[in-house]
Amino acid sequence: MTVRAPRPTVAGPEFGPESPFPLRLSGPVIKGFGRGSKELQIPTANIPISGLSVGGCSEIESGVYFGLASLNLPATDTRPKVFPMVMSIGWNPFYRNAVRSVEVHIIHDFAEDFYGVEMRLLVLGWIRPELDYVSKDALIEDIKTDIRVGLESLKRETYKKFESDPYLFEFGDAGVKEENGEKL
């Protein structure tokens, strides 16, 4: 049996994000494979892979990242909400995906789905490369560790200051999906 070395409790340099971070990604929340909530009990909000084309960077390395997400949720107040997030970009080797995906775990409990809502991502750092797993339990445990690492990393003042980055709040009504003249 191979034993893996303990993982660091934070990711990214202490002084704050370094190039190529922060990365700014956006897209409407789309349906994914349906495994996050149902099978892994770790819900994800997915964006189209085309959302990976940012600022001259057409190919983002597969792996796990941390940062902030904002959603233009239909609500009584007008300011978008900002949440900590971890995200996986890649092929999900455990599931042998035929297509690459962008799966964002927003660290917040939502009462309902929000497909079609515009999501903005401010990616502040890299946690680890994409891995394969011997079991679903091992995958779940690593994702839970990713969440802890992401949260601890974001507690540092040099990362926390990004919660007010204007990019996270520039939506207008363009990101709200409408159906039959009603905002969803």
The one catalytic residue in 18, 103, 118, 178 is 103
Amino acid in position 32:
G
Nearest residue to 143 via CA among 3, 68, 27, 35: 35
Instruction: Give the whole-angstrom CA distance, residue 182 versus residue 184.
Output: 6
Q: Are 87 and 105 in contact (CB under 8 A)?
A: yes
Contacts of 170 (CB under 8 A, 6+ apart): 120
Give 69's strand partners: 83, 121
Instruction: Give the whole-angstrom CA distance, residue 126 versus residue 64.
Output: 6
Query: What are φ and ψ of residue 176, in 5° steps?
Result: -95, 125
Strands 45-47 and 63-71, by their bridges, are unpaired
Instruction: Give the whole-angstrom CA distance, residue 3 versus residue 95.
Output: 22
Q: Quick check: is 118 catalytic?
A: no
Which residues carry out catalysis?
103
